[in-house]
A and B are shown apart, each in its own frame.
Chain A
Amino acid sequence: DAKTTQPPSMDCAEGRAANLPCNHSTISGNEYVYWYRQIHSQGPQYIIHGLKNNETNEMASLIITEDRKSSTLILPHATLRDTAVYYCIVRKTSYDKVIFGPGTSLSVIP
């Protein structure tokens, strides 16, 4: 079973910020939060990851709550090309299985 829960779908207006939530209430202290996205049937694409501090890169920002039980991926100015399924996963070491949940299907609307 996935260690994370995400809303199944969301809409966002083009040009607006897309805020995608993820609940990981059972996360342990040394598990990282990773976000990937999958556009149509292409291979998933890495977006960002974090442990406890907020992170930002050229694609997105990741906000992790202080208790680390949830996080939000922020796409600051969503475009039509950001329409995809977004997956939030948690993982500690490379000895752990990788568990992708159903993700959130984000539709960016013109």
Chain B
Amino acid sequence: DSGVTQTPKHLITATGQRVTLRCSPRSGDLSVYWYQQSLDQGLQFLIHYYNGEERAKGNILERFSAQQFPDLHSELNLSSLELGDSALYFCASSVELGGAYDEQYFGPGTRLTVT
């Protein structure tokens, strides 16, 4: 158990809908990362938040948005869902004191199925 929790574990929804994925980092971790993993794309970095502020952005679609709240939990919002958005979504956290990169601890993931 990494200490990172993600909810829900599974989500099935229809095209065009909007969903919110939630991540609670390990206690004391200031950084939260979001990744998408689909069968044909591997592990794709979406976005990184550090202590409430966006720090780095990867291949995140405009239909997707994220935020990190004052209590450090994070939410990933996916809207106007398409079949191709079906994937595993992982959240990871790390301490990164002083902004220095360190190891990430991944949650168990949310499996999103768009029908």
Contact = CB atoms under 8 A, between A and B. Distances in A.
Do the two chains bind? yes
Contacts of B109: 41-43
Contacts of A96: 56, 101
B7 interface: no
Interface string B1-12: 010100000000
A36 B57 CA distance: 21
Interface in A58-110: 87, 91-103
B108 A42 contact: yes
Nearest to A34: B103
Interface of B: 2, 4, 31, 33, 35, 42-45, 48, 50, 55-58, 88, 90, 92, 94, 96, 99-101, 103-109, 111
Contact of B33 (A38, A98, A103): A98
B43 A87 contact: yes
A72 B86 CA distance: 34
Given A34-B103, A46-B104, A94 B88 contact: no
Nearest to B2: A43
Contact of A44 (B50, B90, B111): B90
21 contacts: A32-B101, A41-B109, A42-B108, A42-B109, A43-B4, A43-B106, A45-B2, A46-B104, A91-B101, A94-B31, A94-B48, A94-B50, A94-B100, A95-B55, A95-B56, A96-B101, A98-B45, A98-B56, A100-B35, A100-B43, A102-B42
